[in-house]
Amino acid sequence: MPLLRLDNVTRNFGGLAAVKDVSFEAKSGQIVGLIGPNGSGKTTCFNLISGLYAPSSGKILFNDAQISGLPQHRIAAKGVARTFQISSYFPALTALENVVTAHHTQLKSGLFAGILRLNKTVMEEAAAVERSHELLQFVGLEHRHGMRADALASAEQRRLMVAMALATRPQLLLLDEPGAGMTKEEQVRLTELIFKVRDVGVTIVLVEHHMRLIMGICDNVVVLTEGKKIAEGTPAEIQATEAVIEAYLGRRAAHA
């Protein structure tokens, strides 16, 4: 049974099908790549999986239960986390405060529980701070814990967003261009981090334009163009697929 399955998923925006009849799956423990040119529907797939949008048709299953149509917080509570293509942290908060804040989305104490059982809330706060330090350590940012998020280098901000996503203890992590703007060296470190996340039991779907990153770490790659899946396979299979070379990798790749 796959951890995640998209079943003929379509999402229309007015007359445009941003995602059209797309099916793919991610098995537990896999790193699945989702690639395609700009505007091919990659982020929309993430928006559909995480519940920002509901599909116009088709189904999304997580752990064999349908999640499509559920609100975002319910999907997050089931174990799906994501990072965003755009910066998504509080710039004026420190790295640590950002990760602690990310925890609150999953803390059990709701508003009323918080008022009635203040002690429990305080306990959870302490636990969240401790775990946030561990998460910063995990992504290699512990030495920056007191620095404002907007003062971090851009590659560090990307790592911070990974730590924030991990705060909810996900089973599935959707990474939307985590390597954007990174140098080759920073990409190598990111690759190590992604493997590390996988090795603690988190399944990953990765959207990236850096082909070296995708081909180096993915078990399986899904290729979209204009909202449609045009190919799927191992990195070696994808690189040898004529339709992918034509439609996406471009002529230069064919001669590479």
- CB atoms near residue 21 (< 10 Å): 15
Cα 217 to Cα 206: distance, rounded to the nearest angstrom: 10
* 15 scored as a contact of ligand ATP (CB under 6 A): no
Tell me the residue type at 27. K
Pull the structure tokens for residue 214.
């995708």
Residue whose CB is less far from ligand ATP, 37 or 114? 37
CB of 186 to ligand ATP, least distance (A): 19
Residue 195's binding partner, choosing from Mg ion, ligand ATP, none, with beta-carbon cut-off 5 to 8 A by kind? Answer: none
* 86 scored as a contact of ligand ATP (CB under 6 A): no
DSSP single-letter state for residue 158:
H
* 103 scored as a contact of ligand ATP (CB under 6 A): no
| Residue count, binding to ligand ATP (CB under 6 A) | 12
What residues form DSSP beta bridges with 80? 172
* 42 scored as a contact of ligand ATP (CB under 6 A): yes
* 210 scored as a contact of ligand ATP (CB under 6 A): no
* 55 scored as a contact of ligand ATP (CB under 6 A): no
Q: Give the list of residues 6+ apart from residue 202 with CB closer than 8 angstroms, or none.
A: 166, 170, 171, 172, 173
What is the three-class DSSP state of 177?
coil
CB of 175 to Mg ion, least distance (A): 11
Interface residues with Mg ion (CB under 5 A) are 42-43, 85
